[in-house]
Chain A
Amino acid sequence: MSKQINVALIGNPNTGKTSVFNALTGLNQKVGNYPGITVEKKEGICKLPRGVKAHIIDLPGTYSLNASSLDENVVIELLLNKNDKDFPDVAVVVTDVENLKRNLLLFTQIKDLEIPTILAINMSDRMKYKGISLDIDYLEKQLETKIALISTRKSKGIDNLKELITNYKELSKKPCMNASLIDESYFNNLRKAFPNQLLYKLWLVITQDVNFGKTDRKTFDKVEDFKTKSKTDLKRLQQKETIKRYQFINDALKKGQTIDLNSAKDLRIKLDRVLTHKVWGYLIFGIILLTIFQAIYDWSSIPMDFIDSSFAALSEWVKNTLPEGAFTNLLAEGIISGLGGIVIFIPQIAFLFLFIAILEESGYMSRVVFLMDRIMRRFGLSGKSVVPLISGTACAIPAIMATRNIESWKERLITILVTPFTTCSARLPVYLIIISLVIPEGRILGLSYQALTLMLLYLIGFGAAVGSAWILNKILKIKSKTFFVVEMPNYKLPMFKNVALTVLEKTKSFVFGAGKIILAISIVLWFLASYGPGDNFNNAESIITQQYATENLSEDELQQKIASHKLEHSFIGIAGHAIEPAIRPLGYDWKIGIAIVSSFAAREVFVGTLATIYSVGSDEEETIKNRMAGEVNPILGGPLFNFASGISLLLFYAFAMQCMSTLAIVKRETNSWKWPMYQLVIMSAFAYIVALIAFQVLK
């Protein structure tokens, strides 16, 4: 077996690092987590010339090795730990040709760790447009590296980069800057105390607030003298280091890079004049949101109808083809119905992820942060909270992780606490099916009532998030420094490959993640609904036959009566009846009650659960929607899902905290069970009260 080369991709955010990763690995990539933390770990395999293989790891984007977040810590921890199995043989620092000066800061830091480093200058297709020319030979000499001039957009230079990776052993390990220039006497003392260690590495360990390999920390604890510098002093030295690095970079670029401003064109200025405008900016943002919701609704209805009827047909086919028995019933009624409840929402979820990916890739999301900061601050949030709140419409879990770049702890905590109010894709199945049952079809100004209802529900979610943030801001007494720095990247046409891979990856993990839970719950529910204790369940046939002996019922009607009698006296029926008093004032029957209880594990279980419950014992295989439409309210008569109970359910799902994974992630990010428990109790109680009022007023 030939040895694999470990390659680490490092770079500032917005340099196209992930495009380089996609260009190198294609579909040979997987996304996981770093052990013990929720930072995404992307790795892949790349075939290099002459049969060599490279293991590529795409490290989180960072502006420097001075970490200020969990994601950035990952980069430093890896680069300082030679024993890590992912420790790079070669680092590829990805830079944007338009921001070379700033991007090189990180490059010089990596070089000073004496790791073989390749400088990949991306977006080279923009050079002519921007009037930039580079003296590659000169820069390679000054920066002690090899340069790959690439353009992932035009697929240029990738082969050259692969060639450089293959020949990584020829790279110089010479540092760019003598670290001891920062403070000579201090660094001389360091050198005496740790003669075998790299000075810059020691300096990083001293200045970072992160946990490094235990050995490093302990060695410092033994030598007390080196901790005497105060935090302010250290920060001053870091500032000095930054200035020194920029001096070095400026010197290198003075001769190595020329920019002809006359031939430079700037689309950014023109676009930003409109997109960040005081009036037009907000108007355009509103139109974009409206378009997205209308599109999600309109575009996905055809594939969804197709999936719904296909699963119904599949279930019927299984029942008719396989020999009769418990296993066939489990397969047809439990598993296929349950899975159908999740597969049906793939089109909508994929569209949602698609739009979010486009907003992020194009650079527009940063403009939204800029536009919204002042408004969000009134509610104790940051402009950066907009990103979690918008991506929370896909899933609260990545959204809560996306709060990590909010600098102030108070703003971040509030964002974490209120993000679950935004309508995540798991609520979508519930909303869609209920909307289609209780909201009439029809259009106003080209927008369908149903799409508008959906949009309204999203707005209610945002409103609840912002409103509760305002309250939390008044209640929480946390003092924390507020910093706000956000990069405004260049506008870019989103690259198809990047967007497609993101949508594929996210949809896949949603379907498999949720699918596992739904499958398990469907099976459990099927058993609970198919078996029951006592005579009432076991002798259902004789009881019903006797009861209706005098009424001339057809065979079909009799079977129906038996089936529903059985369901009522099954384990699940008994449990459902037990909680019915609590939910009847909301307009729900015991079947909905079961669905609500099981969806505290994950909201999307709701539809699957109802599908499973309704299909148990029914002979004809119908679509989920038709089955729900046929349900009759046992007390009030009329359809069970009418306007009042439908609105009540929608509101319940809009506010209730029903997702175990979100609670787990909140626990992890806030480091305490206190916050997730508050979320669970307060949100759910609020949901109950609102749903109660809605039903009582509307019925």
Chain B
Amino acid sequence: MTLAELKRGQRGIILDVSSIHIPLKLLEMGCLPGNFVELVQVAPFADPMYLNINGSHLAIRKETAIHIKIETTNE
């Protein structure tokens, strides 16, 4: 599944990021395979998404989130 499908409060592990579609800045902020991600809050229409990635709190748009493959963790 992709990050865009994550529900509020859910956690996951990043499996793969499509480096063509993802800005380097996002990778530098910790959006890398193996790191955890949690959906903290969503704006209306679930866009943008307020995430906790590897301890960094940031917001990205849904159009970026669909390029990040994740796997949910059971917590």
Contacts and interface: CB of A to CB of B under 8 A. Distances in A.
B59 A369 contact: yes
Interface centre among B20, B27, B32, B63 (most CB of A within 10 A): B27
A373 B48 contact: yes
Contacts of A98: 55
Interface residues of A, number: 40
A268 B52 CA distance: 12
B30 A102 contact: yes
A236 B47 CA distance: 28
Contacts of A268: 57
Nearest to B17: A239
A276 B63 CA distance: 20
Contacts of B41: 272-273, 276, 370
Interface string A42-81: 0000000000000000000001101010000000000000
Residues of B contacting A: mostly: mixed
Contact of B32 (A63, A246, A269): A246
A252 to B, nearest CB: 15
A63 B59 contact: no
Contact of B43 (A101, A102, A371): A371
Given A246-B32, A373-B61, A485-B60, A66 B24 contact: yes
Contacts of A490: 57
Interface size class of B (residues with CB under 8 A): 20 to 34
Contacts of B27: 238-239, 242
A582 interface: no
Contact of A63 (B29, B54, B61): B29
A383 B20 CA distance: 23
Interface in B32-60: 32-33, 40-41, 43-45, 47-48, 50, 54-60
Contact of B44 (A99, A369, A374, A383): A374
Interface in A460-502: 482-490
Contact of A484 (B20, B56, B60): B60
Interface centre among A64, A236, A488 (most CB of B within 10 A): A488
A485 B26 contact: yes
A102 B50 contact: no
A546 interface: no
Given A105-B28, A486-B58, 12 more contacts: A102-B54, A102-B55, A242-B32, A246-B30, A272-B40, A407-B23, A483-B25, A484-B48, A485-B58, A485-B64, A487-B57, A487-B58
9 closest cross-chain pairs (CB), A and B: A488-B57, A483-B23, A484-B61, A370-B59, A64-B28, A276-B41, A486-B59, A373-B48, A102-B56
11 contacts: A63-B29, A68-B23, A102-B28, A236-B19, A239-B24, A242-B28, A242-B32, A246-B30, A246-B32, A371-B43, A486-B48
